[in-house]
Amino acid sequence: MKKVSVSFVLNGDPVTAEVPVTWSLLKTLREHFELTGAKEGCGVGECGCCTVIVDGDAVNSCLYPVPEIEGRSVVTVEGIAEKDGTLHPLQKAFLENNAVQCGFCTSGMIMSAKALLDKHPDPPEEDIRTGLSGNFCRCTGYVQIIEAVQMAAKAKP
C-alpha cells in the first residue's frame, strides 16, 4: 500500500505520521496515534461520532483524507482538558448534567459543541440544536446534551 508522510499539529504538538494514502484522518488518529476518542459510527458523515476540530472548524474526520491534513491544526477530545487534567467546561457540564449514556457519541458531541462555543460563546438554544444536528445520539439523550452545552456556555469565564 502506498504511504504518505503528513506533518500537522495535533492537540498543540507538531507531529508527523507515515500512513497509507487511503487512510482517513479518523483512522490515522485512532490507529497511528492511538487517540480513540473520535469514533467511527457510520463512516459516511452522517452520525458525527468522528467529529474533530480542524483549524477551528468541526469536521467529520472519517471523510477527511489524511493527506489533506498536511499543515493543519487538529484538536481531538483528548486535547481539550488542561495539561493538569482539569476538565474542559463542556466535559464538566456533560458529567454534571448526565449528558452521557452509552458514551459513543459523546466525544463528537463535545467537539461540535466546542467548535460552536469557541465562535459563539452564548448561543441561543436553536443555534445549539443546529450546531449539533450532525451528531446523532442513538440513546436519544438529547435534552441533557443541549442543557449541558447551555451549562458550559454559562460556566465560561
Residue 116 touches other proteins, criterion: CB under 8 A: yes
Whole-number Å distance between alpha carbons of 86 and 136: 27
Rounded distance between C-alpha atoms, residue 46 and residue 33, angstroms: 24
Is residue 76 part of the contact set for other proteins (CB under 8 A)? no
In DSSP terms, 90 is beta-bridged to: none
Query: Which of the ranges 9-17, 28-36, 64-72, 89-97 carries the binding residues for other proteins, by CB under 8 A?
Result: 64-72
By the rule CB under 8 A, 130 interacts with other proteins? yes
Measured in degrees and rounded to the nearest 5, phi and psi for residue 26 equal -60, -50
Pairing of strands 13-20, 3-10: antiparallel
What residues from 17 to 56 belong to the interface with other proteins (CB under 8 A)? Answer: 20-22, 24, 43-46, 48, 51
Residue 121, SS3? coil
Does position 140 interact with other proteins (CB under 8 A)? The reply is no
For the chain, give percent helix, strand, coil, nearest 5.
40, 20, 45
Shortest Å distance, C-beta 145 to other proteins: 15
Piece of 74-82, 96-104, 131-139, 140-148 that binds other proteins (CB under 8 A): 131-139
Q: How far apart are CA 85 and CA 29, in angstroms?
A: 21
4 near other proteins, rule: CB under 8 A = yes
Bridging pattern class, strands 73-75 and 3-10: parallel
For residue 2, state whether it binds other proteins (rule: CB under 8 A).
Answer: yes
Nearer to other proteins, 22 or 86 (CB): 22
* CB 37, min distance to other proteins, A: 16
- State phi, psi for 114 to the nearest 5 degrees: -65, -45
Which residues of the chain form contacts with other proteins (CB under 8 A)? 1-2, 4, 20-22, 24, 43-46, 48, 51, 57-60, 62-65, 67-68, 70, 112, 115-116, 130-131, 133-135
